[in-house]
Structure 1
Amino acid sequence: MTRLFAGTQFDIPPTCDLCGKVEAHCQCSAAQKAEHERKLAVERQRLPPEQQTAKIQRQKRKGGRVATVIEGLTAAANDLPQLLKQLQAVCGSGGTVKAKQDLIELQGDHLDTVRRQLKQIGYRVKG
């Protein structure tokens, strides 16, 4: 008996975090468990929107095109691709995530729409 309360009414055998079964009956592979741990580690690094400030600006590009750029939201603290999808749906335009530079670009002039949507999600907004 290696567990502290083994053999008593307080004995609760350890369970798998992934499938919920008792570890003796768990059939999860090591790769599945490692992937689950990686996802949990990423979620622990996330910050709530209330603790972040987004900087929004309009940039002119060559050929007279305009892009709306959102900076100040780090890729480690946010799910930038998911946020981009939400903003694209609201604005009805294309865009991209540049994770190395920690910015989101939307095609077109959507400054007011993006500002409104980010405030609705809970981010603080500048610009």
Structure 2
Amino acid sequence: MRDLQSLGGPVYSTDHGRMCPACSKPQAQCVCKQIKPVPTGDGIVRVSRETKGRGGKAVTLVKGVLVDSDQLEQLGKQLKTACGTGGTVKDGVIEVQGDHVEKVMAALQKLGHKVKRAGG
């Protein structure tokens, strides 16, 4: 028979309401969101163009930016504005709709990042 802690702890408490599954504290006192992972890498931002899995549509990918998730969202917004197009930030990768590799590289260099073109 397993103990309750191996099952992940309580999900709801009548005293505190919903419990965080990661730290087992009430959601109002959860510390998980305050702890942000430190990005790792070699400090070189890689910019590439990809069409695979997108119905032939080109997407500019930006990988390896050493900032936290909030700053990455802000940088993604700046790059999308500079290119005049849409995009998203997923799993630490900024995706800008369209083939804007040169514009993105210029914008990142202007912001002080060390940039390399990746892929063909």
Tell me which moved more, 76-85 or 57-66.
76-85
Shift of residue 52, structure 1, vs aligned partner: 2.8
- Mapped pair 1:125 → 2:115: yes
What corresponds to 1:64 in structure 2? 56
Cα distance in 2 for partners of 1:77, 1:125 equals 19
- Kindly indicate whether the alpha-carbon contact (under 8 Å) linking 2:43 and 2:66 is maintained by their aligned counterparts in 1: no
The alignment partner of 2:68 has SS state of: coil
Shift of residue 73, structure 1, vs aligned partner: 1.5
Give the counterpart letter for 1:122 in structure 2: G
Taking only the aligned residue pairs, the percentage that are identical comes to 37
Tell me how large the CA RMSD over aligned residues is: 2.8
Identify unmatched segments of 5+ residues in structure 2. Answer: 1-27
After superposition, give the CA deviation of every residue in 1:55-97 in whole Å (9 maximum; x if it has no partner).
Answer: 0000013322000000112453871110011001100111111
Cα distance in 1 for partners of 2:80, 2:98 equals 11
After superposition, give the CA deviation of every residue in 1:24-59 in whole Å (9 maximum; x if it has no partner).
Answer: xxxxxxx8xxx9xx5xx86xx68xxxx832100000
Match among 108, 112, 118 for residue 98 of structure 2: 108
Cα distance in 2 for partners of 1:105, 1:68 equals 6
Which is richer in helix? Answer: 1
Paired residues, number: 84
What corresponds to 1:81 in structure 2? 73
What corresponds to 2:89 in structure 1? 97
The alignment partner of 1:115 has SS state of: helix
Larger Rg over CA atoms: 1
Cα distance in 1 for partners of 2:62, 2:108 equals 10
TM (norm. structure 2) is: 0.58
